[in-house]
Amino acid sequence: MSDLSHYTVNFGPQHPSAHGVLRLILELKGEVITDVDTHIGLLHRATEKLAETKPFNHSIGYMDRLDYVSMMCNEHAYVMAIEQLLGVNPPKRAQYIRVMFDEMTRILNHLMWLGAHAMDLGAVSVFLYCFQAREDLMDCYEAVSGARMHATYYRPGGVYRDLPNSMPNYEPNRWRTEKEIEILNENRQGSLLDFIENFIKSFPSKIDEYENLLTDNRIWKQRTVDIGIVSPSLARKLGFSGPMLRGSGINWDLRKDQPYAVYNELDFDVPLGSKGDCYDRYLIRIEEMRQSTRIIAQCITWLRANPGPVMTNNKKVAPPKRIKMKDDMEALIHHFKLFTEGYIIPPGETYAAVEHPKGEFGIYLVSDGSNKPYRLKIRPAGFTHLQALGELSKGLMIADLVTILSSIDVVFGDIDR
């Protein structure tokens, strides 16, 4: 065999740790990476162009399909941009519901990330633990919107409907005994809020379980500590946001610094890292899950005490109640107009950003006074982070590249759009 010292290796696009469809061309010297050329766009669906051909409300569902593990946070930025241009204020109850679901989405995202990250590093069982907890949250999505993932629940002016008073139950079937069904349905007897409350009571102990498996695990620490170190100045230079920025110790969280919805009324802490390595980013995401349960608990208390409308009463934006359309001509006209033409947004442009589980997710919306967006630009968090992959992994081994890649938390739905 010839004595090769320099290799060019193709990584992906169909590779389990490429998190979807990432293709990397790696230049290696032995096993050490000397250069990374990242090829993205294999999942490009031209969401922004598609949105230009549809009325505003039709594209809410596309937002779910961007970062498909944090669906409702994407919707939130989009409806916020529309609301800013329309000058519509959603009722407070709707904002609390949004915040509650945003935080549930954050837990969903971090659980998916934790499972995948651990699996990339060889710990398969964490993945199964995480998916068990995700199941309950997906049930909440389903209870409120009818879909387990792509909810399309937020609307400009509020949310589609109020929280349901009952949770769907498991029905008897021939694969489970009645006793098993009974156990499964045990926490589904009350309303959705009861179910969520039950979940957040038990969830912190589940986080402890994940931490038992990983936090002090010797192999886990060997794989993540001091890998992919990002200093605060480097993090700014690379344009990071979200947990990637906080991992380097920079105190920046849009929920605190530029609060939207009702985050300024809620009490929570923002965890910060000290070193900026993969292990710090792991600890931060774990702590963020704990903080999310705190926020959800406060939302539940508020929502219990304050019933009310969940949709604006601006009839040019919110569809009328079906029952009203039976004998109200105005309602019928509004309904017809809204579902054929949609609503008109006055000319202008805006940028709305939310603290997405992965970082800053923004929507830049330009309207020319018509019923469709003139230009919609989605600012995904992962795009900037993935760009830095080459810089972070130069001089490290291929195995470390996998660690860094998954600690960035990439999902190609929003990077490629």
| Token code pair at residue 185 | 């349905």
- Residue 345 and residue 83 in contact, taking contact as beta carbons nearer than 8 Å: no
- Beta bridge mates, 23: 39
CB of 343 to other proteins, least distance (A): 9
Contact with other proteins (CB under 8 A): which of 123, 295, 353, 410?
353
| Residue 315 is a binding residue for other proteins (CB under 8 A) | no
- For 33, other C-beta atoms within 10 Å of its C-beta total 21
| Token code pair at residue 332 | 């019928």
CA–CA separation, 63 and 48 (whole Å): 10
Window contacting other proteins (CB under 8 A); options: 39-47, 174-182, 216-224, 299-307: 39-47
| Residue 366 is a binding residue for other proteins (CB under 8 A) | yes
DSSP assignment letter at 414: H
Contact with other proteins (CB under 8 A): which of 28, 50, 138, 397?
50
- Residue 342 and residue 371 in contact, taking contact as beta carbons nearer than 8 Å: yes
| Residue 304 is a binding residue for other proteins (CB under 8 A) | no
| Residue 237 is a binding residue for other proteins (CB under 8 A) | yes
> What is residue 60's three-state secondary structure?
helix
CA–CA separation, 10 and 20 (whole Å): 15
Q: For residue 253, give Cα distances in angstroms to 26, 183, 263, 265, 387.
A: 34, 40, 11, 15, 21
Contact with other proteins (CB under 8 A): which of 138, 238, 396, 399?
238
CB of 61 to other proteins, least distance (A): 15
CB of 65 to other proteins, least distance (A): 16
| Residue 291 is a binding residue for other proteins (CB under 8 A) | no
- Residue 59 and residue 376 in contact, taking contact as beta carbons nearer than 8 Å: yes
Contact with other proteins (CB under 8 A): which of 362, 403, 410, 411?
362
Least Cα distance to 361 among 340, 376, 382, 342 occurs for 382
Contact with other proteins (CB under 8 A): which of 18, 388, 392, 401?
388
CB of 90 to other proteins, least distance (A): 16
Q: Up-side HSE of residue 89: CA atoms within 13 Å toward CB?
A: 5
Interface characters, 188-217, with other proteins (x: CB under 8 A): ------------------------------
- Which residues of this protein are in contact with other proteins, per CB under 8 A? 40-41, 44, 46, 48-50, 53-55, 58, 84-85, 87, 236-241, 245, 250, 252, 257-258, 316, 340-342, 344, 346-351, 353, 360, 362, 364, 366, 368-372, 374-375, 377, 379, 383-384, 387-388, 416-417
